[in-house]
Structure 1
Amino acid sequence: MSLQTNITAALKEAMKAKDQVALESLRAIKSELLLAQTSGSDTAFTEADEIKLLQKLVKQRKDAAAIFIEQNRTDLAEPELAQAAIIEQFLPAQLSESEVEAVVKSIIAEGNFSGMAAMGQVMGLANAKLAGSADGKTISTIVKKLLTA
């Protein structure tokens, strides 16, 4: 099933359950999908684009929650984290740090990369290979650690 179909089904369930947090999250996803699809570009909206969009929504919520926690506003941070958790349900399973590290090590070995000058090349290959299964910050941290070691 497509993401749009999954979202619509989940929206119906959330409405029946009267789950406001889920409703807000799902409506945000649906809204972003519609905006992206009707943005005027002639290219088709692919599954990779859907994953990027979902990752962006999760990141926005986690960033907002971090700011709220910094300002001692846990009452505002909790709904943001709850929405992020609901949106993450529609993302592919995330790899652990050790799995990401193994993939990055193989990329570095295959390309014979070394030093921080190769960071951009390694990041490009790693992001392409791990698209949707790991977030960019985790990948970046691991690439830096391996290239400086």
Structure 2
Amino acid sequence: MSLELTINAEIKAAMLGKKEADLRALRAIKAAILVAKTAEGASGDLTEADESKLLQKLAKQRKDSLEIFRAQNREDLAVKEEEELVVIERFLPKQMSEAELRTAITDIIATTGASSPADMGKVMGVATKQLAGKADGKAISALVKELLTK
């Protein structure tokens, strides 16, 4: 079942269950899907990779907002963002653990022959392609930097 059909079914369930937080997040996902499908140059259908990128973008937006709201002591808004993030993450592929990520990046560094922080761009290019959807870009970047500065 496509993401759009899954989201529509989840919206109905959230409405029946009167789950306001779930409904907010699901409607945001549905809106993002509609925008992506009707964007200029779009084919009308989203691939699984497009859906994954869309969900990652929504999750990143929620994480960034959550960080800002916590920094500004706006716990009321932070709670809403956190609730939406939990719902969005249900549809994302399982994220790699730090140990799995470290192993994958170590392998990538070995295959690219990188040895210094100057090679970070080379490693990041390969890592972001291989680990797309499996790990957060910030986490990948931080770990690549840490491993190359050793």
Q: What's the TM-score, normalizing by structure 2?
A: 0.95
RMSD, matched Cα: 1.1
1:36-115 to structure 2, matched below 5 A, reads 36-43=36-43, 45-115=46-116
- Tell me the residue number matched to 2:13: 13
Aligned length: 149
* 1:42 Cα deviation from its structure 2 partner: 4.3
- Tell me the residue number matched to 1:31: 31
1:93 and 1:135 map into 2 onto residues whose CA distance is 11
* 1:45 Cα deviation from its structure 2 partner: 2.6
SS in 2 for 1:4: helix
What CA deviation, in whole Å up to 9, does each residue of 1:95-145 have, x standing for no partner?
111101100010111111111121111111111111111110110111001
SS in 2 for 1:89: helix
SS in 2 for 1:57: helix
- Tell me the residue number matched to 2:140: 139
1:92 and 1:122 map into 2 onto residues whose CA distance is 23
SS in 1 for 2:91: coil
1:136 and 1:37 map into 2 onto residues whose CA distance is 25
Q: 1:42 to 1:82 in 2, by over 3 A?
A: closer
The runs of 4+ residues in structure 1 deviating greater than 2 Å are 42-45
Structure 1 unaligned residues grouped into runs of 5+: none
Write the letter of the residue equivalent to 2:11.
L
1:16 and 1:42 map into 2 onto residues whose CA distance is 33
Q: State whether structure 2 residue 140 is matched by structure 1 residue 130.
A: no
1:42 and 1:9 map into 2 onto residues whose CA distance is 24
Q: What's the TM-score, normalizing by structure 1?
A: 0.95
2:58 and 2:122 map into 1 onto residues whose CA distance is 26
